Chains A and B, each alone.
Chain A
Amino acid sequence: MALLEVRDLSVVFQRKGEDPFAAVDGISFDVSPGQMVGLVGESGCGKSVTSLAIMGLLPQRGVRVGGTVEFEGKDLLRLSDRELADRRGRDLGMVFQDPLSSVNPVIPIGVQVSEVLERHEGLRRREAALRSAELLERVGIPDPGRRLKEYPHQLSGGMRQRALIAMALACKPRLLIADEPTTALDVTIQAQILSLLSELVRDTGTALIMITHDLGVVAGMCDEVNVLYGGRIVERAGRHELFAEPRHPYTAGLLASIPRLDAPRGERLTPIRGSVADNIPWAGGCAFAPRCPNAVDACVERGPEMTREGERLLRCHNPVGRPAPSEEVPAR
Chain B
Amino acid sequence: MLRYTVRRLGQLMLVVLALSVLLFAWLRALPGGPVSALLGDRATPESEAALRADLGLDQPIVLQYWRFVARALSGDFGTSTGVQRGTPALDVFLQRFPATLELAVLAILIAIAVGIPLGYLAARRRGRILDNLSITWSLVGIAVPVFFLAFLLKWIFAVQLGWLPASGRQTGGIDATRVTGFYVLDGILTQEWDAALDAFVHLLLPAIALSTIPFAVIFRITRAAVLDVLDEDYVRTARSKGLAGAVIRRRHVLRNAMLPVVTTIGLQTGALLSGAVLTERVFNIPGLGQALALGFERKDFPVLQVVILASAMTYVLVNLLVDLSYAAIDPRIRTR
Contact = CB atoms under 8 A, between A and B. Distances in A.
A115 B243 contact: yes
Contact of B330 (A89, A106, A108): A106
A57 B331 contact: no
B255 A119 contact: no
Contacts of B233: 96, 98, 101-102
B242 A115 contact: no
A103 interface: yes
Interface stretch (B7-15, B180-188, B244-252): B244-252
B239 interface: yes
A106 B256 contact: yes
Interface string A63-99: 0000000000000000000001111111001101010
B259 to A, nearest CB: 8
Nearest to A88: B242
A116 B240 CA distance: 10
B194 interface: no
Given A107-B255, A119-B247, A89 B242 contact: yes
20 contacts: A55-B240, A85-B239, A86-B242, A89-B241, A89-B243, A96-B240, A102-B233, A102-B234, A103-B234, A104-B252, A104-B256, A106-B331, A106-B332, A111-B251, A115-B251, A116-B242, A119-B244, A153-B335, A154-B335, A167-B241
Contact of A96 (B237, B247, B330): B237
Nearest to B239: A57
A207 to B, nearest CB: 16
Interface string A161-184: 000100110000000000000000
A151 B335 contact: yes
A119 B241 contact: yes
Contacts of B256: 104-106
A179 to B, nearest CB: 10
A177 B244 CA distance: 21
A94 B247 contact: no
Contacts of A96: 233, 236-237, 240
Contact of A101 (B232, B239, B251): B232
Interface string B239-279: 11111100100011001100000000000000000000000
A120 interface: yes
A144 to B, nearest CB: 18
Interface centre among B233, B244, B252 (most CB of A within 10 A): B233
A107 B251 contact: yes
Interface centre among B234, B247, B251, B252 (most CB of A within 10 A): B234
A94 B331 CA distance: 26
Contacts of A94: 237, 240
B51 interface: no
B197 interface: no
Interface in A281-329: none
A101 B236 CA distance: 10
Closest 8 CB pairs of A and B: A88-B242, A89-B242, A89-B241, A101-B233, A151-B331, A104-B234, A94-B240, A102-B233
B242 A119 contact: yes
A107 B232 CA distance: 14
Interface of A: 55, 57, 84-90, 93-94, 96, 98, 101-108, 111, 115-116, 119-120, 151, 153-154, 164, 167-168
Given A115-B243, A115-B247, A119-B242, A103 B332 contact: no
A107 B248 CA distance: 12
Interface string B299-333: 00000000000000000000000000000011110
Interface residues of B, number: 22
B252 A57 contact: no
Given A106-B256, A106-B330, A153-B332, A57 B241 contact: no
Contacts of A168: 240
A164 B240 CA distance: 11
A88 B241 contact: yes
B238 interface: yes
B237 A102 contact: yes
A62 to B, nearest CB: 11
A102 B247 CA distance: 17
Interface of B: 232-234, 236-244, 247, 251-252, 255-256, 329-332, 335
B234 A101 contact: yes
Interface centre among B236, B241, B255, B331 (most CB of A within 10 A): B241
A106 B255 contact: yes
A64 B244 CA distance: 24
A85 B242 CA distance: 4
A85 to B, nearest CB: 5
A154 B332 CA distance: 9
A103 B247 CA distance: 15
Contacts of B243: 85, 89, 115-116, 119
B231 to A, nearest CB: 9
Given A89-B242, A105-B256, A106-B256, A164 B251 contact: no
A151 B332 contact: yes
Contacts of A119: 241-244, 247
A104 B238 contact: yes
Nearest to B243: A119
Nearest to B238: A104
A88 B332 CA distance: 29
Interface centre among A55, A88, A103, A115 (most CB of B within 10 A): A115
A88 B234 contact: no
A106 B241 CA distance: 18
Contacts of A90: 242
B242 A106 contact: no
B180 to A, nearest CB: 37
Contacts of A108: 331
Contacts of B244: 85, 119
